[in-house]
Amino acid sequence: MSDSVGIVTPQKWVFEAPITLSSGAVLPRYELMVETYGELNADKSNAILICHALSGHHHVAGYHTAEDKAPGWWDSMIGPGKPIDTNRFFVIGVNNLGGCHGSTGPSSINPATGEPYGSAFPVVLVRDWVETQARLADRLGIQQFAAVIGGSLGGMQALRWSITYPERIRHALVIASAPKLTTQNIAFNDVARQAIITDPEFHGGDFYQHGVVPRRGLRLARMLGHITYLSDDGMGEKFGRLLRTGEYQYGFDVEFEIESYLRYQGDKFANVFDANTYLLMTKALDYFDPARHYGGSLAEAMRQAKAKFLVVSFTTDWRFAPARSREIVKALLDADRTVSYAEIESQHGHDAFLMQDAPYMNVMRAYLNNVAKEIA
Amino acid sequence: MAHQTTLRADLKHIAEQIKPNSRVLDLGCADGELLAWLQANKQVRGIGVDVDVNSIVTCVEKNLNVIQADMESGLQHFEDGSFDFVVLSLTIQSMHNVELILQEMLRVGRCGIVTFPNFGYWENRWQILKGQMPVSETIPYEWYNTPNIHFCTVKDFSQLLAKLGMQVDGQVVLHQGEPVNFLPNLLGSLALVQFSQTKVV
């Protein structure tokens, strides 16, 4: 456990100043759940912000109790001596606004009604998250992040940071991400949303008052999502056509191992995740398109940035394919920004950004080692 | 950054052609030796391209900007005229699309520099005369395991450039790192050619 950050305690940060969101909606106050690892140095130059993806949260590394079975979701990357080395960096994990792990979200109490927000919770965009993260940085006294790092939807936040606050980040690490979703990707998200919205127990988003959870919808959404996070090859290698009993049962119960796996993942997720948060996160993905404000030119958008970039993609990721990362790289090169790009061979599909393929870990370690030297 | 003072002989001759403070694209940059030297000693703004992820890791370790890409399909990452020099060192002989890469080099850059093993080197000719495919210090593979598919001589290469509307601006033929001025296509084992679009007078 010497490479673990050990037992960590989440903190709740309360922001009493109202925030006007991109949609025009105003939240009078909000709370963010935060975890930090390592020590902030005297000139506050060694902070790294970790931005989470669709189902992530502030618990990025370490354990909450000695009994925890699993560590934080990116424990493989973060810890003493790991690529994001907590001996050198002060690492911040935050649960985004609209989340369901303690930050203000649809299941929080709406001060205006005394009831959970539910359907009244406004749509949040990636730029809104960046705004709340910037306010968090202000409170921590961090003027400039050494790096903002994220995979998938988290990578979109890192990109947005570099455009909105060019002076406030030295490096952006954009992993398994995209400059905007493809049509197909939006389509997947809508099927997931429809699964949730058409669940009779969704109640238009106000299911909390009914004492129910749209578990079936959430489960289906997760099962669908999970298929798209894995590669065909990876899935085939892991499950093949394996049958649980070894024989055809000629029915509709769980027979193939893949069915068992997906149902297990779906059930597990439906027990802990909030349906409204799932809708919000997928909408934030769909709306993300920084080029939109620059005449459709991503290069023009990236021209705002001052950070240096590391872009990473994975060969079998078809949900956020390497071609999408190459668009980011091309835009950065066209905008004359500093960028390195690695296209990692991996069997793990989109999930690869959470895995430990050696070249991936090596390139992250090499890059962040230089970031650490730069700020030392 | 520590100044690297020693540079592989063929890279040293490439480095000599490159003007200080220029923008350099190094295709097939491998461990980034040339780029690191150029950045430290000639203050160039450099980008490397390589298909091998281990090269990417090594270059990132050296704090070089590097893009992992397969150059066989061209240099789509890069805009027209973004570089002063585009270098392709000891790689062209193993590429499928030789004409495309040469055209792409002069699309994204003003000046190209290519190095390649000179198939016309006497020892290669001698081995063929003896009835065998050449194996030498610049061509260290057997015919059955070589990655090299497009061998040429110094003369062949300049003919191809002419066909593509390009001109030779400078040429050095080396043997064991030293320039060969007498009968270079026969006595030199490694060629360096600097080229650009043929100027219309």
Q: Read off the pLDDT of residues B124-164 as tens digits, 9 standing for 90 and up.
A: 999 999 999 999 888 999 999 999 999 999 999 999 999 99
pLDDT higher than threshold 90 for residue A1: no
Which tens digit of pLDDT belongs to each residue from B18-57? 999 999 999 999 999 999 999 999 999 999 999 999 999 9
Place of tokens 């000891």: B90
CA–CA distance, A98 with A56 (Å, rounded to integer): 12
Question: Which chain B residues are within 8 Å of A342, Cβ to Cβ?
Answer: 53, 56-57, 60, 68
Mean pLDDT of chain B: 93
Active site residue A210: no
Q: How far is A186 from chain B (nearest CA, A)?
A: 26
pLDDT of residue A297: 98
Q: How many CB pairs under 8 A join A and B?
A: 56
pTM summary value? 0.96
Rounded to two decimals, the ipTM of the complex is 0.93
Check if A152 is active-site. yes
The radius of gyration of chain A from alpha carbons, rounded to an integer in Å, stands at 20
Contact B60 A359 (CB under 8 A): no
The minimum CA-CA distance between B189 and chain A, rounded to whole Å, is 34
The torsion angles phi and psi of A158, rounded to 5 degrees, stand at: -60, -40
Rounded to 5, what percent of chain A is helix, strand, coil?
Answer: 40, 15, 45
Residues of A in contact with B74 (CB under 8 A): none
Contact B53 A343 (CB under 8 A): yes
Can you state the angle between helices B98-108 and B154-163, rounded to 10 degrees?
60
CB neighbour burial string for A30-49, b if at least 16 within 10 angstroms, e if fewer: bbbbbbbbbebeeebbbbbb
A245-258: pLDDT as tens digits:
999 999 999 999 99
In angstroms, what separates the C-alpha of A359 from chain B's closest C-alpha? Answer: 7
Report d(CA A257, CA A250) in Å as an integer: 15
Q: Give the pairing of strands A90-94 and A84-85.
A: unpaired
Partners of residue A362 in chain B, C-beta under 8 Å: 57
* Inter-chain touch A363–B57, beta carbons under 8 Å: yes
Q: What single DSSP character describes residue A98?
A: T
Catalytic: A317? yes
Counting DSSP H helices and E strands in chain B, the numbers are 7, 8
Compute the distance between CA of residue A19 and CA of residue B50 in angstroms, rounded to an integer. 46
A363 reaches B (C-beta below 8 A): yes
Q: How far apart are CA B90 and CA B92, in angstroms?
A: 6
